[in-house]
Structure 1
Amino acid sequence: MAEQDDELRAMATHRGLKLVKSRRRKAGGDFGLYGLKDAGGAEVFGFGADGLTADADAIRDYLRGGMRSDWSTSVETTPGPKRAPKPKPAPKPKPAPPPKPRFKPEVANLLRDLPEAKEDEAFDDLLKRPGVRIERIVSRGQATPEDAPMVQGWDEWVILLEGAAGVRIEDSAEVRLGPGDHLVIAAGQKHWVTWTARDRPSVWLAVHLDG
């Protein structure tokens, strides 16, 4: 019994209550029964008109029910851990400015600022390198004399960019050229420009391959 009393007393103390036990021995009395009072001495549980009314099991159930209630209330009211605020995204780095160009190409146009070429054809060298020369030729009604064919000691690739013209190589028939037409004249071949347009300039691009 002493161990039981100690157990109940400890449970009551944990709840802030005081265990009361009857020790009166009389027929029909409350001997061996218990009650609970608060810290101020007010009756809380197990008291009746004729004395104490609660046995050990009733005291346990009461105190355990109170403990469960306290635990539930504590869980509901205890704030959980605060969530750390989300870090603000780092600002996007500004793109690096493009590097300043170190070289500025010179752009020219083969079909602009054309010479008139009314009397003679106009020849302009565009590029000279060992073994190669590129020139622009502008014609306007000129032709190669029949008794003075052109002959050269290197291969030539030529394209007509604008206008119209006729060409004959060796004893071939004349071929008519329009914009975009091109051909190769081999070294040593006799060739003639048989005619060029008179109403507009004819612009040639010739690549001379020497070696």
Structure 2
Amino acid sequence: MKNIFDGITAVGEEEQFDLLMKGTHYRIDRIVSSGHSSPQGFWYDQEDDEWILLVQGKATLEVEGKFIDMKAGDYMFLPKNCKHRIEKTSVEPICIWLCFFSIE
């Protein structure tokens, strides 16, 4: 058995990305953020569908021009090629994301 909070290191300038599980058609990542945001003008435009759950913390995403505030327990689906970016993430508590990617 494992725990979603195990192995979190002190978050520095970069977010912490951890691959938790991978199969033929899926990947599950844990991302740890602390005051991080996407660079101005940067957009994620991924080739895979993504389902995200904010396990801990607060964050604001910009999804195709619309700002979405998230708190612990909130989740959403981002279809492939849905342009999105991280506007801001909380520092205290740090943000812990669980991200499920559907790989074609």
The answer to whether TM tops 0.5 is yes
Residue type at the aligned position of 2:68: V
Structure with the larger strand share: 2
CA deviation after TM superposition for structure 1 residue 146, in Å: 2.6
1:167 and 2:66 correspond: no
Quick one: percent identity of the two aligned structures? 29
Partner of 2:98: 205
Partner of 1:124: 18
Secondary structure of 1:204's counterpart equals strand
Q: Which residue of the other structure, out of 149, 161, 166, is the alignment partner of 2:43?
A: 149
CA deviation after TM superposition for structure 1 residue 168, in Å: 1.3
Q: Which residue of the other structure, out of 69, 88, 92, is the alignment partner of 1:195?
A: 88
Structure with higher Rg: it is: 1
Residue type at the aligned position of 2:98: L
Partner of 1:41: none
* 1:74-131 superposed Cα distances (whole Å, 9 cap, x missing partner): xxxxxxxxxxxxxxxxxxxxxxxxxxxxxxxxx1110234121121100000101001
Structure 1 runs not aligned, ≥5 long: 1-106
Mapped partners of 1:157, 1:120: distance in 2: 22
Aligned residue pairs total: 104
CA contact (8 A) 2:57 2:92 kept: no
Q: Please show how residues 31-70 of structure 1 align to structure 2 within 5 Å.
A: none
Structure 2 runs not aligned, ≥5 long: none
Runs of 4+ with deviation above 6 angstroms:
none
Mapped partners of 1:131, 1:123: distance in 2: 19
Compute the RMSD of aligned alpha carbons.
1.0
Farther-moved stretch of structure 1 (140-149 vs 112-121)? 112-121
* 1:52-81 superposed Cα distances (whole Å, 9 cap, x missing partner): xxxxxxxxxxxxxxxxxxxxxxxxxxxxxx
Compute the TM-score of the two structures, normalised by the length of structure 1. Answer: 0.48
1:115 and 2:9 correspond: yes
Compute the TM-score of the two structures, normalised by the length of structure 2. Answer: 0.94
Secondary structure of 1:158's counterpart equals strand
> More relative contact order in 1 or in 2 (CA 8 Å, sep 6+)?
2
Partner of 1:140: 34
